[in-house]
Amino acid sequence: MNQIAKQIHSSDIRDILENSLGGNRPDRADCLRLLESDDVQLMGMASGHITKKRFGITASFVNNIILNYTNVCITDCKFCAFYRSPGADGSYTLTLDEIETRVKTARDMFGIRQVLIQGGHNPNLGIEYYESAFGMIRAKFPEVGVHGLSPSEIDMIAKVEKCSTAEVISRLAEAGLQSVPGAGAEILVDSVKDVISPKKIDSAAWLRIMEEAHMAGLPSSATMMYGHVESNRDIAEHFGRIAELQEKTHGFMAFIPWSFEPNNTLMQKEDPTTHGSGGTRLLRMIAISRLVFDGLIEHLQSSWLTNGIGMAQLALQYGADDFGGTLIGEEVVSCTGARSTELTDAKIVEAISQIGYRAVERDNFYNTVSVRQ
Does a structural domain hold residue 1?
no
Does a structural domain hold residue 9?
no
**225 is in which domain, residue-wise?**
26-371
Number of domains within the chain: 1
**What was the pLDDT predicted at 5?**
67
Between the alpha carbon of residue 315 and those of residues 1, 58, 249, 308, the distances in Å are 20, 13, 27, 11
78-110: per-residue pLDDT in tens?
Answer: 556 655 666 667 778 899 999 999 999 999 999
Mean pLDDT confidence for 151-177: 97
Question: Phi and psi (nearest 5°) for 192?
Answer: -75, -45
For residue 296, what are the contacts with CB-CB under 8 A and spacing of at least 6?
25, 243, 246, 247
* 304 vs 46: which has the higher pLDDT: 46
Question: Phi and psi (nearest 5°) for 60?
Answer: -100, 165
Annotated binding site for [4Fe-4S] cluster, which residues? Answer: 73, 77, 80
For residue 145, what pLDDT band results from cuts at 50, 70 and 90? very high
For residue 362, what are the contacts with CB-CB under 8 A and spacing of at least 6?
60, 61, 62, 113, 322, 368, 369
199-246: per-residue pLDDT in tens?
Answer: 889 999 999 999 999 999 999 999 999 988 899 999 999 999 999 999
49-85: per-residue pLDDT in tens?
Answer: 999 999 999 999 999 999 999 888 877 655 566 556 6
The span from the CA of 35 to the CA of 232, in Å, is 6
For residue 3, what pLDDT band results from cuts at 50, 70 and 90? low
Query: Residue 248 CB: number of other CB atoms within 10 A?
Result: 12
**What was the pLDDT predicted at 39?**
93
50: enclosing H helix or E strand: helix 40-55
Does a structural domain hold residue 280?
yes
196-205: per-residue pLDDT in tens?
Answer: 888 889 999 9
For residue 248, what are the contacts with CB-CB under 8 A and spacing of at least 6?
211
CATH of the domain at 295: 3.20.20.70
**What was the pLDDT predicted at 151?**
96
Does a structural domain hold residue 144?
yes
**What was the pLDDT predicted at 92?**
86
- Which pTM value belongs to this model? 0.90
**What was the pLDDT predicted at 77?**
54
Does a structural domain hold residue 290?
yes
Q: Report percent pLDDT > 70 for the chain.
A: 85
Between the alpha carbon of residue 203 and those of residues 37, 101, 121, 257, 297, the distances in Å are 27, 36, 17, 17, 20
Residue 263 confidence (pLDDT) above 60: no
Annotated binding site, which residues? Answer: 73, 77, 80
Q: Which of 166, 139, 145 is nearest to 154 (CA)?
A: 166
Does a structural domain hold residue 135?
yes
Does a structural domain hold residue 18?
no
Does a structural domain hold residue 13?
no
**What was the pLDDT predicted at 226?**
92
For residue 335, what pLDDT band results from cuts at 50, 70 and 90? very low
Mean pLDDT confidence for 168-182: 98
Q: Which of 66, 65, 122 is nearest to 93 (CA)?
A: 122
**What was the pLDDT predicted at 12?**
87
62: enclosing H helix or E strand: strand 58-62
Q: Report percent pLDDT > 90 for the chain.
A: 72
Mean pLDDT confidence for 326-335: 58
Mean pLDDT confidence for 336-349: 70
Query: Lowest-confidence range among 58-72, 87-101, 133-147, 169-183?
Result: 87-101
